[in-house]
Amino acid sequence: MAMMNDNPADCPSSSSCGLEVENLTKLYPPVRKGLVGFRDLVDTLKGRREEVLALKDISFGVRGGEWFGLLGPNGSGKTTLCNIILDTTTPTSGHVLYDGFDVNREHEKIQGRICTMQYQFLLQRVNVRDSLRRAGAEWMLPREEIEERMNWLVDIFDMREKLDDWLVRLSSGMFRKVMMIATLMSGAELLVFDEPTQGMDVFTRKKLYQQLHHFQRDSGTTVFWTTHNLHEAEETCDRIAVIDNHLVTVTTPKKLVQEMEKANLEEAFISLLRGNKTQTRGASKGTGSE
């Protein structure tokens, strides 16, 4: 069955397309062999060393204020794409634009406007309240704004009773929830979450979805979300992009399920990627026989 993209690279207008991925390709150097590189030198001279493909010519747009999901199997390039958006990895070619600025070349224009959940610095024997205050200080917020944002967020995420608990006493799911609140303390316009619900049970996850949607509705924040939990993506995402080192489709969860004629997003995702791999192998054989 042919898949139809829901405007894969375009947004309704340039002003509503907050994040634009344009012809993005990322190649990593070949894996090193041996201790001193002699085998690398021999393979290079014989032309046997090949770069590792992470992303190939990917283009799509993320609308401002939407919850956008990035789906794909292990090794499909999801984390690499997130790292490029966060300017911790440089693309081999192509661009990622946020509000018209290249995130890898005009970092000073978007500094503080994009954030991810990387608060492993939180100290175990410090309570939640002081941890969130420290996160606000990291973003150089005024003291009054730190207190205001912290109180707003702990009420949204139902964490007020945990404010005086040490982090070491929290469950892994609650600890990740504190990390998420610390991220939201930044006030960033675009949040990049790479599998943020690991370690959370189904009840905590479902409550988190509701709370994060509440936050998003009140703040207008754009959420860029990767996950292997297809039920999670079906429940939360406005639109999704499916990648497998290249772009497979951009659509909504509901449309993908309907077009693949499956019962849910997980079944549709499996069917889509199996069909895509079959087409890719067929195209490769056709090219080789010409």
Per residue in 215-237, pLDDT tens?
998 999 999 999 999 999 999 99
Band (284; pLDDT cuts 50, 70, 90): very low
Of 82 and 29, the one with more pLDDT? 82
> Please, which residues have CB within 8 angstroms of residue 239's CB and are 6 or more apart in sequence?
6, 63, 66, 68, 69, 250, 251, 252
45 by Cβ neighbours in 10 Å (0-12 / 13-18 / 19+) ranks as exposed
Which residues, listed in sequence order, are joined to residue 98 by a DSSP beta bridge?
19, 101
Whether the pLDDT of residue 83 is over 90: the answer is yes
Q: What's the whole-number mean pLDDT along residues 190-199?
A: 90
Q: Indicate if the pLDDT at residue 15 is higher than 90.
A: no
Mean pLDDT of the chain: 86
The 67-71 sheet, strands edge to edge: 114-116, 190-194, 222-226, 67-71, 239-243, 247-251
17-28 β-sheet, strand order: 52-63, 17-28, 93-98, 101-102
Flag whether pLDDT at 1 surpasses 80: no
Whole-angstrom distance, CA of residue 139 vs CA of residue 188: 10
Distance CA 15, CA 257 (A): 30
pLDDT at 287 over 80: no
Dihedral angle at the C-alpha atoms of 31, 32, 38, 40, nearest 10 degrees? 20
Would you tell me how many other CB atoms lie within 10 Å of the CB of residue 104?
18
Find tokens 């489709």 and name the residue.
249
pLDDT band of residue 48 (cuts 50, 70, 90) is low
271: number of Cβ within 10 Å: 15
pLDDT attached to residue 13: 42
Can you give the C-alpha Rg of the chain in angstroms?
21
